[in-house]
């Protein structure tokens, strides 16, 4: 029996896309952090430390070390390549929902 994808759910499509785009499989916390980062970039471009937890800080550190992002609370900067990767992964996780193992 097929399961309907829920928003923010890590599916095989998302795992495959993250490996192709980022070089590794993302987890649910990383997937759910991505829309916040996108929203931040479209608004204030400043991360609100009150809105992220320790696990999300670790993910941000990983992204900084990979040079996908720089800055943070004083002003966030993001590479064009990473922005494109976020757009594709977020689309799969929040917009293009489908039934796992079946059609949309």
Interatomic CA distance for residues 90 and 35, integer angstroms: 7
> What is this structure's pTM?
0.86
Residue range(s) defining the domain that contains residue 36: 3-100
- In this structure, the number of other CB atoms found within 10 A of the CB of residue 62 comes to 14
Q: What is the pLDDT of residue 101?
A: 56
Q: What is the pLDDT of residue 97?
A: 76
Q: What is the pLDDT of residue 1?
A: 42
Q: What is the pLDDT along the chain (104 residues), one digit of tens a residue?
A: 456 677 778 999 999 999 999 999 999 999 999 999 999 999 999 999 999 999 999 999 999 999 999 987 788 999 999 999 999 999 999 988 776 555 44
Residue 104, Cβ density class (10 Å: 0-12 exposed, 13-18 middle, ≥19 buried): exposed
Domains contained in the chain, number? 1
């Amino acid at each position: 029996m097929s399961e309907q994808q829920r928003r923010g759910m890590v599916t095989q499509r998302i795992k495959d896309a993250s490996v192709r785009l980022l070089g590794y499989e993302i987890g649910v916390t990383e997937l759910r952090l991505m829309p916040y980062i996108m929203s931040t970039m479209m608004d204030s471009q400043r991360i609100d430390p009150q809105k992220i937890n320790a696990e999300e800080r670790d993910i941000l550190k990983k992204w900084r070390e990979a040079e996908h992002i720089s800055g943070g609370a004083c002003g966030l900067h993001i590479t064009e390549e990473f922005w494109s990767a976020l757009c594709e992964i977020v689309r799969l996780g929040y917009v293009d929902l489908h039934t796992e193992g079946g059609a949309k």
